[in-house]
Amino acid sequence: MLTAEQLIAAHKTNIDTLFGLTGKAFEGVEKLVELNLQVAKTALGEAAANTQAALSAKDAQEFLALQAGLLQPAAEKAAAYGRYLYDIAASTNADIGKVAEAQAAEAQQKFMSVVDTAVKNAPAGTENVVALFKSAVATTSNAYESLQKAAGQAAKVAEANIEAISASAVKAASTPKAKRAAA
């Protein structure tokens, strides 16, 4: 049976964890806001420069060449923005995941301690029930570890897919420019 001190300690730990996770989430939001502000600032400056260049074009051909020259850098910037967004999300998720894993490990350790105490105090003749219960706990732990590994692998696959999509987008943006140059 849990004592009042144990309950208070558990609640304090849970509150500390909640505030820690909230802090990590806010760090991610701060990074996202900082990125978006930087992108907006840069885009505004580039829009002004591109507008001036477009207004100074001497003919339609020069204007079209200017626009074609802007396509690849825009695709590269969009791909870089996507990578930065992914990095922020992955970093925040990893930080939160570490906290969650630590909490889960601590909770499992405490639970196993309670189970061991209960097993020691179990009445005679309940050995089969105790063995079955311990087996169920071990199976649950193994399933949780398998899920964590699968989630980690899925994250790696997602990262590889994002990189491939970004590279594809940049390549697609540069292809029309090369075709026009050859024509």
pLDDT at 4: 81
pLDDT at 173: 65
**Is the pTM of the predicted complex or chain greater than 0.75?**
no
pLDDT at 174: 67
pLDDT in tens, 107-151: 777 777 777 777 777 777 777 777 787 788 778 777 777 777 777
Percentage of residues in the chain having pLDDT higher than 90: 16
What is the pLDDT confidence band of residue 178, given thresholds at 50, 70 and 90? very low
Torsion sign over Cα 78, 79, 83, 86:
positive
Taking phi over 0 as left and psi of -120 to 50 as alpha, with beta for the rest, 125 belongs to left
* Domain-wise residue ranges, the chain: 4-182
Q: 3-state DSSP call for residue 182?
A: helix
